[in-house]
Amino acid sequence: MDSVSGRYTCLNMNYLLLIMIHIGVGLHAVGGVWPMPQISASSPEQYPLNPEAFYFEYGRQSEAQPGCSVLDAAFKRYFSLIFPDYFPGDNLSVCAGQASLKAETVWGFFVNKTDIEDFPRFQFRGILLDTSRHYLPVQAILKTLDAMAYSKFNVFHWHIVDDPSFPYQSQTFPDLSAKGAFHPMTHIYTQTDVQRVISYARLRGIRVLPEFDSPGHTQSWGKGQSDLLTPCYKGGTPSGAFGPVNPTLPSTYQFIARLFKEVSSVFPDSYIHLGGDEVNFFCWKSNPDVRAFMQKMGFGTDFTKLEAFYMESIVNITSTLNKTAIVWQDVFDYHERIPEDTVLHIWKGVPYDYTKELSRITKAGKRVVLAAPWYINHIAYGQDWRKSYTVQPLNFSGTEEQKKLVIGGEVCMWGEYVDATNLTPRLWPRASAAAERLWSDEKQTSSVEKAFPRLQDFRCKLLRRGIQAEPLYVGHCRHEYQGI
Amino acid sequence: MDSVSGRYTCLNMNYLLLIMIHIGVGLHAVGGVWPMPQISASSPEQYPLNPEAFYFEYGRQSEAQPGCSVLDAAFKRYFSLIFPDYFPGDNLSVCAGQASLKAETVWGFFVNKTDIEDFPRFQFRGILLDTSRHYLPVQAILKTLDAMAYSKFNVFHWHIVDDPSFPYQSQTFPDLSAKGAFHPMTHIYTQTDVQRVISYARLRGIRVLPEFDSPGHTQSWGKGQSDLLTPCYKGGTPSGAFGPVNPTLPSTYQFIARLFKEVSSVFPDSYIHLGGDEVNFFCWKSNPDVRAFMQKMGFGTDFTKLEAFYMESIVNITSTLNKTAIVWQDVFDYHERIPEDTVLHIWKGVPYDYTKELSRITKAGKRVVLAAPWYINHIAYGQDWRKSYTVQPLNFSGTEEQKKLVIGGEVCMWGEYVDATNLTPRLWPRASAAAERLWSDEKQTSSVEKAFPRLQDFRCKLLRRGIQAEPLYVGHCRHEYQGI
């Protein structure tokens, strides 16, 4: 997942944005920037920070040049963040008749001359939101995208549907949300909503990676699509309950192909997440048609082969749509024959064994995204951000080539206990700890103690920018009650 | 702490409010009321719920009669909660020219005839907020008072000052907040703020119990009051650090007397919380003047005697101000001679040993408030409200007389990791679990499983009333996104 790809033709943004953010902190030391830049040099030389004279410039060597819509919009946003109170003409009225008051002294900010060279350590820096266990209003998603950009996350992994509800309003299969959402009108994402999220994210340098998890985690799909799920049997007759997607019927693959064709065109990203986790074989085992299919296919009683058969089929469907698949590691664990470029998403092995998972899967030459140590929905009393911060994603047994296969990491906010009432303070600034781990040089950011005051500053900055980030410990911010 | 006392002359409110709240749930079963009423009988007989014909009535036998400002205001508030969309005349315009549309059917609500007799199990049902570790804006406190009333909490224990900051703006000693608050102008409670909180609480049947914790937990006091704290020594000379309040100087008691005189008049409640917890003797031991005082008083090297001396003195000061003291259990643990009516606040013995504390202290004839199992600032992943719910406050070894000394319980939200960004979703609906334990009959509410759907309903009701209460588990409420 390169930072320049797909439709993001002028997306060298990360480099430029860092410089802007840095200027934004004004009087703070360089140490106050979060995540820590790769290379930064301050000199005692000072410059006035004057909004009348301040401007952003495209680098002469940059691929991005004037007219790049993403950067043009970013310049506007960050100007307001740096000079929140500035309105053109303000200083003139203040100065009327007072020639001695120059623009510089009206504002009174000086910044040390600072050169920053910056680039991300990992190309994939994601946050997962789960909009199935609880519906999240579009506003809550946009707010999260704002905060993600401030921490330099660049992938919004949208776990949009799951067992409890199907809020995605499909054009091809409108019954999926009409019957599978918590509410068919208020708890759905219309095509307009989805486009709004994608375009808001794009302007902030964030890709939207949609997940349509199957064959498990699909209870809500069954409500609007009959014959999709496997009927479970009890004592020789259907029990009325349904299990995972039925992998034995051609109609299943026709449905998936049509759904994914739509999804592929709605979501422009070159990746699509196919899920594939936690498939319970209980229902498949109970169903005589499934058992007959197993015999026919020569799978014996090994249901992992049936799961592999299903996953291979849908990965192949996405390949024909020119999308690269990301799947949860379960798919690798069952040894499916999956395309070389499929990315494995590591979620097992918490708290410490995920290093084994990293070794094992990269040894097979697969690219991986590490999520296991960053299941941020799990909360604990106290400063649990420290645990997220001390993760060393490359500290596993393997060759240099294997290490290169770790393309990044992801903070997962599963939705069992989270909705719009508590999402923001539970996510921020805790997720920012992982953000620095994924962006910055590990040696320069090895001390949790040194990170603490910098993260406190950053949390205050989030508050000032309207993100209701929770406190890390006793204390206060200068500007903490705007709008609360 | 009787429900009818002090200035609360018409505060038989709890009985009346319950009836109103019940009507408020309208079509829900009686089982949907939280906390569960003591006695409730529904019949199949139905009545239309018509705002044009609906009114609250003072009971003929009630101590409270028309003109009671608390109830008159409550009637107004609860009318709006029951009929949020009603505006007089609405139905007339809807009905213009349509004689067949009667008021009843415009609204279309019917309620089953229900008789409720209700009263609280415990008279003290408190919530502690800590405004020293983080400052809480007055709005956040008022919002909490709203939510407290919905859960029938009746004591706001305002842990207003502590080590980190002194936000109470004293008339007598303005330097305490001018120098001891996080910010002397923005992070303080003015006298107007305090009056606003008290009066807002009073109208909701909630007493305000202020805590000025000493002799420990007073670092912030020392900034605005020189010579109050004990200078710590290192190697025979003052180290520059300060310890607890200096109990050896007459000026200390003069200061406390003047401060408490003011506090007693500002806060009308008949109780005052004096703290007395977690006194660290290290600094006292280091100070030669303190050691000399110990010799003179015959305390030897037993610093608990010095602490006892201090606490006895300040408890006596509050007695002369006609206030009854509440203190943390540490004060009992050091065997101070404290007035018979002093209430001990139990916070030790978590998770299970607090029953021993209850036995021990009630055996000495002291009244107690139980806080130990309800330190709600401690969070854990999942449904931790279940632990709060299954507490049995009277399940300890002791006589019937001892059990009567348990006057109630308190949910404590200490502020290390909590400020206005996360207070509401962290407090609600988790605190409501304790609320039912303190209000309702224990036998009728012994099943956590039965409580669960009722608490989910109640959480949705909190959302509808504008309290950003977090979800208990997967799902949704009908009206969850107003204002988010």
Summarised one tens digit per residue, pLDDT across range B397-439 is 999 999 999 999 999 999 999 999 999 999 999 999 999 999 9
| B269 touches B5 (CB < 8 A) | no
Beta bridge partners of B375: B412
Residue B2's Cβ-count burial label (10 Å; 0-12, 13-18, 19+) is: exposed
Q: What is the number of alpha carbons within 13 Å of residue B439 lying toward its C-beta?
A: 28
- Residue A90: what pLDDT? 52
CB-closest option in B187, B416, B468 to A421: B468
| A313 touches A253 (CB < 8 A) | yes
Q: What is the number of alpha carbons within 13 Å of residue B42 lying toward its C-beta?
A: 17
Burial annotation A144-153 (CB, 10 A radius, 16+ → b, else e): bbbbbbbbbb
CB contact under 8 A, B380 and A381: yes
* pLDDT band (50, 70, 90) for residue B478: confident
Q: Say if residue B104's pLDDT is above 60.
A: no
Q: Say if residue A357's pLDDT is above 70.
A: yes
Summarised one tens digit per residue, pLDDT across range A89-148 is 656 443 344 433 333 334 456 888 888 999 999 999 999 999 999 999 999 999 999 999
Summarised one tens digit per residue, pLDDT across range B273-302 is 999 999 999 999 999 999 999 999 999 999
* pLDDT band (50, 70, 90) for residue B52: confident
Q: Is some CB atom of chain A closer than 8 A to the CB atom of B482?
A: no
Dist. CA B224–CA B247, nearest whole Å: 18
Summarised one tens digit per residue, pLDDT across range B369-390 is 999 999 999 999 999 999 999 9
- Residue A27: what pLDDT? 39
Summarised one tens digit per residue, pLDDT across range A367-419 is 999 999 999 999 999 999 999 999 999 999 999 999 999 999 999 999 999 99
A470 Cα to chain B: minimum distance (Å): 6
* pLDDT band (50, 70, 90) for residue B39: very high
- Residue B25: what pLDDT? 41
In the block, residue with structure tokens 């058992």: A291
Give Rg (Cα) of chain A: 25
- Residue A333: what pLDDT? 85
- Residue A275: what pLDDT? 97
| B458 touches B38 (CB < 8 A) | no
Residues with Cβ within 8 Å of B77's Cβ and at least 6 positions away in sequence, in order, are none
Domain ranges of chain A: 124-465
Q: Is some CB atom of chain B closer than 8 A to the CB atom of A139?
A: yes
CB contact under 8 A, B421 and A379: no
Write down the mean pLDDT value for chain A. Answer: 89
- Residue B334: what pLDDT? 80
Strands (E), B291-447: 324-328, 343-346, 367-370, 406-413
A374 Cα to chain B: minimum distance (Å): 14
Identify the CA nearest to B351 among candidates B376, B372, B381, B330: B372
- Residue A19: what pLDDT? 40
The ipTM assigned to this model is 0.90
CATH classification (class only), A124-465: alpha beta
Residue B289's Cβ-count burial label (10 Å; 0-12, 13-18, 19+) is: middle
Which residue numbers of B are catalytic? 278
* pLDDT band (50, 70, 90) for residue B84: confident
* pLDDT band (50, 70, 90) for residue A355: very high
- Residue B46: what pLDDT? 87
Q: Say if residue B12's pLDDT is above 50.
A: no
Q: Say if residue A290's pLDDT is above 50.
A: yes
Dig out the tokens for A468 from the structure: 């209701």
Average pLDDT, integer, range A438-448: 97
- Residue A335: what pLDDT? 72
Identify the CA nearest to B136 among candidates B428, B392, B400, B421: B421
CB-closest option in A379, A416, A471 to B419: A471
Average pLDDT, integer, range A9-33: 44
- Residue B109: what pLDDT? 67
* pLDDT band (50, 70, 90) for residue B53: confident
Which H or E run includes B251? Answer: helix B250-266
| B113 touches B144 (CB < 8 A) | no
A45 is catalytic: no
- Residue B18: what pLDDT? 37
Output the pTM of the full model.
0.91
CB contact under 8 A, A463 and B380: no
Q: Say if residue A436's pLDDT is above 50.
A: yes
Burial annotation B248-287 (CB, 10 A radius, 16+ → b, else e): beeebbebbbebbebbbebbebbbbbbbbbebebebbbbb
Strands (E), B15-154: 39-48, 110-117, 124-130
Chain A residue numbers with beta carbons less than 8 Å from the beta carbon of B456 are none
Summarised one tens digit per residue, pLDDT across range A52-100 is 888 898 988 888 888 899 999 999 999 989 888 787 765 644 334 443 3
CB contact under 8 A, A476 and B416: no
Residues with Cβ within 8 Å of A447's Cβ and at least 6 positions away in sequence, in order, are none
Write down the mean pLDDT value for chain B. Answer: 89
Summarised one tens digit per residue, pLDDT across range A183-242 is 999 999 999 999 999 999 999 999 999 999 999 999 999 999 999 999 999 989 999 999
Give the residue from A166, A470, A472, A479 with the most B CB atoms within 10 Å of its CB, the best one to mutate: A470
Q: Residue A316 — left, alpha, or beta (φ > 0 → left; ψ -120 to 50 → alpha)?
A: alpha
- Residue B356: what pLDDT? 95
Which H or E run includes B331? Answer: helix B330-333
